[in-house]
Amino acid sequence: MFASRRTASIAAVVLAAAVMLAFPAFGAGAGKSPTTVVIGFKLPAWHGKLKSPKTACLGGRKVKLYRKTNGKTVLLGSDRSNAKGGWAVLIGSKIPRGSYFATASANAKCKGDKSAVLQVAG
């Protein structure tokens, strides 16, 4: 009797593992909506928009703006997206040469993303 319970328990664990492999939505990260970070600039600010099929993934997200030059990546600033996903980081009247990108980190409901890299030639 003990052996049959043990066999049944092992079979249940194996079945659960097989279901998680076959259907990843049952595993970690299930239900997270994708997020896309869009970036652009118009002096005096870098700006952009978060896009997601889930409106809860648009507002209140922290967006960080980075500049990469000479192999170094520097955080230039950050903003919280508005209810429509819009964000902006003031940079002043000049945009130095380098590669710029923005990120939005993941949270409990939404996946994170990194924007396309924009090259600025000085």
pLDDT score for 15? 46
Cα gap 58→14, rounded to integer Å: 39
Q: pTM for this one? A: 0.73
Q: For the segment 2-40, what is each residue's pLDDT rounded down to a tens digit?
A: 556 555 455 444 444 444 444 444 344 557 999 999 999
Spatial CB neighbours of 69, under 8 Å, sequence gap ≥ 6: 96, 97, 98, 99
Do residues 65 and 90 make contact, with C-beta atoms less than 8 angstroms apart? no
